[in-house]
Amino acid sequence: MTKEAVSIRDLNYSYPDGTVALEDINITIEEGERIAIIGQNGAGKTTLFLHLNGTIKSCDNNVVIFGKDIGQMKSKERIEKVGVVFQDPDDQLFMPTIFDDVAFGPINMGLDEDEVERRVRSALATVGLTGFEDRVPHHLSYGQKKRAALAAVLSMEPRILVLDEPTANLDPMNRASLIELINDLNRDKGITTIVAMHDVNAVSQLADRIYVLNKRMVAEGPPTEIFMDFDLLRENNLDAPDVFKLFSVLSCFGFNCESLPLSINEAVEVLTKTIEGDEKHVHLHIHEHTHEDLEVLMHRYDHHHG
C-alpha cells in the first residue's frame, strides 16, 4: 500500500512586501512517484520548494511530509525526509573539498565518523564521482558540480528528492546522464522525485504526472494531457516538447497515432509500431483540410499572437 509522501492543503504565502507568491496550493504526492512542477519564471516554484524542506514554515501547519507536519520536525528529521538540489550548484558547494561538501550534511546530523565516511563514499559512487574526494569544487566542470551538489544531498539519504531545474545549462551528454541518474534513484532506491523545470523536452522523461504552477495550481495530469491543452500552455507561457509538436504536424498530413510521443524514444516506438503494423510504412498525404489544420496548429503554438 502506497503512502502519501507529500500533502499540502490550502497553502498561501506572501513575501514581506505583500506580493503573493503562492495561493491556495493543494498537492498530494504518493511515495515513489515522479512529479514535475512546471511554470514560468516567478510562478512560485522555488518558494514552494522552500516550504517542502521547512526553510519557510507555514503558520497553518498544512505542509505534511509522510504524515507529519514539517513545522513540528527537528532539523535532522527534516533533512532525512526531504533533500533539495538547487539550480545553481555553486549555491550548495562551499567547502574546501568535495569530501567536505558531501560530508557537511551527515556531520550536522550528528552521525559518527565511520557512518559519515560511508555515506560520502556511497553518495559519490552513486553520482559517478568516486575519486573526486580531494578535488576543489570550483575547479570542477559544470556537469561535475551538478553531480557533486546532488551527492551532497544524497549523503543525507532523503526519502524525497526535490530538484530545481536539474537539466539547466548542461550539455547533451551530461543532461542525458543526469536524467538517467535521477530515474535510477527513483526506481532502484524508491526515492520520490519532484523536479521543477523549463526544459519541456525532458519533462516526460522525468515525470509521470505534472503540476502546472502559476502562483496557484492551475492544472494537474499526465504529460500528454497537459501538453495537449494549448490554451493552458499559452495562458501560462509554456511550450510543448519539440517531438510532440512534430508529430502534431505529421497528424495534419494524415499520420495517425493513438497518442503523440513526448520524447525521441517514444517517437521511435510509435514509428516502429506503425511500420510493423498492417501498413508496413508511414503514409503521409495532403488532403483538403491539411493547410487549414496546419494553420490552426501553428497559431496554437505561436505565443506571440494573443
Domain boundaries of the chain, sorted by first residue:
4-235, 242-301
Which 3 state secondary structure label does DSSP give 9?
A: strand
Q: How far apart are CA 37 and CA 207, in angstroms?
A: 9
Instruction: Give mean pLDDT, residues 75-86.
Output: 93
Average pLDDT estimate for 114-143: 96
pTM: 0.90
Q: What is the mean pLDDT of residues 36-44?
A: 90
Confidence at residue 25, expressed as pLDDT on a 0 to 100 scale: 96
Distances in whole angstroms, Cα of residue 119 to Cα of each of 59, 104, 113:
34, 11, 10
Buried b (16+ CB within 10 A) or exposed e, 123-161: bbebbebeebbeeebeebeebbbbbbbbbbbbbbbbbbb
Query: Which CATH superfamily groups domain 4-235?
Result: P-loop containing nucleotide triphosphate hydrolases (3.40.50.300)
Q: Is the pLDDT of residue 257 over 80?
A: no
The pairing of beta strand 34-38 with beta strand 209-214: parallel
Residue 306's pLDDT is 43
pLDDT score of 236:
92
pLDDT per residue over 271-302, tens digit each? 888 888 776 778 888 888 888 888 887 877 77
Maximum Cα interatomic distance, the chain, rounded to a whole number of Å:
74
d(CA 22, CA 20): 6
Is 168:87 a contact under the CB 8 Å cutoff? yes
User: What pLDDT was estimated at residue 2?
Assistant: 67
Residue 42 has a pLDDT of 85
Q: Which pLDDT belongs to residue 213?
A: 95
CB atoms within 10 A of CB 14: 12
Mean pLDDT across the chain: 91
Distance in angstroms (rounded) separating the CA atoms of residues 164 and 84: 8
Q: How confident is the model at residue 198 (pLDDT cuts 50, 70, 90)?
A: confident
Q: How far apart are CA 170 and CA 116, in angstroms?
A: 30
Output the pLDDT for position 199. Answer: 87
- Closest C-alpha among 48, 50, 66 to residue 6: 66
Choice between 216 and 298, residue whose per-residue pLDDT is larger: 216
